[in-house]
Amino acid sequence: MEIFLSDVWDDASCSHVNTTHPSASPFCRLSVVCSLAYTLESGTQLHRTEHLAFGIPVITTLHRPSAHQLTSTSTTTMKIANRTFIISGGASGLGLATARDLHSHGAYVSLLDLNSDAGSSIVAELGPTRARFFQVDVSSTTSIATAIAGTVSWVRETGKEIGGVVAGAGVGMPGMMIDKKNEPLAIESIDFVLGINLRGTLDLIRQALPHMTTNTPEGVDGERGVVVMVASSAAFDGQMGQVAYAASKGAVAALTLPLARDLSRVGIRAVTIAPALFESNMTKMMSGRVRQSLENAMEFPKRAGQPEEFARTVRDSVENTMLNGTVIRLDGAMRMPARL
Q: Give the torsion sign (CA, 17, 21, 22, 27).
A: negative
| Longest CA pairwise span in the chain (Å) | 90
Task: Determine how many CB atoms are found less than 10 A away from the CB of residue 85.
Answer: 27
Terminal CA-CA length for the chain:
50
d(CA 271, CA 294): 26
Given 85, 134, 245, 310, the catalytic residue: 245
Helices 243-263 and 200-208: angle between axes, nearest 10 degrees: 20
Element (H, E) at 147: helix 141-158
What type of residue is 25? S
Rg of the chain in Å (alpha carbons): 26
Question: Quick check: 106 and 85 in contact, CB under 8 A?
Answer: no
d(CA 282, CA 249): 15
Question: Quick check: 244 and 189 in contact, CB under 8 A?
Answer: yes
Catalytic residue status for 108: no
Question: Quick check: 334 and 233 in contact, CB under 8 A?
Answer: yes
Residue length, the chain? Answer: 340
d(CA 62, CA 134): 49
Helix (H, G, I), strand (E, B) or coil at 271: strand
d(CA 238, CA 337): 8
Question: Quick check: 164 and 227 in contact, CB under 8 A?
Answer: yes
d(CA 260, CA 160): 24
Question: Quick check: 268 and 310 in contact, CB under 8 A?
Answer: no
Enzyme catalytic residues: 245
